[in-house]
Amino acid sequence: MARMPDGWVARLAVAGTPAEARAGLDGLRAAGVTETVLAPVGPDPLGALDSLAAVLDV
């Protein structure tokens, strides 16, 4: 199975605390990204969605 290079993950993934996620999204936007696909993962994906909504102010 092919694996995404670690450098790509570091540059493209949005992860961490709410502040880190906000900074990651802001960095992607500053780099010219106009659309993103966000897929929460982990043991509580619904809780992750709530946290994401708080970061995005929605």
Give the pLDDT confidence of 5-47 residue by residue, as tens digits.
888 887 778 887 778 888 888 998 999 999 988 788 789 988 8
Question: Residue 58 pLDDT > 70, yes or no?
Answer: no
The better pLDDT of the pair 47, 51 is held by 47
Tell me what pLDDT residue 13 has. 83
pTM here?
Answer: 0.65
Q: Is 51 a residue whose pLDDT tops 90?
A: no
Residue 4 confidence (pLDDT):
82
For residue 23, how many other CB atoms are within 10 A of its CB? 14
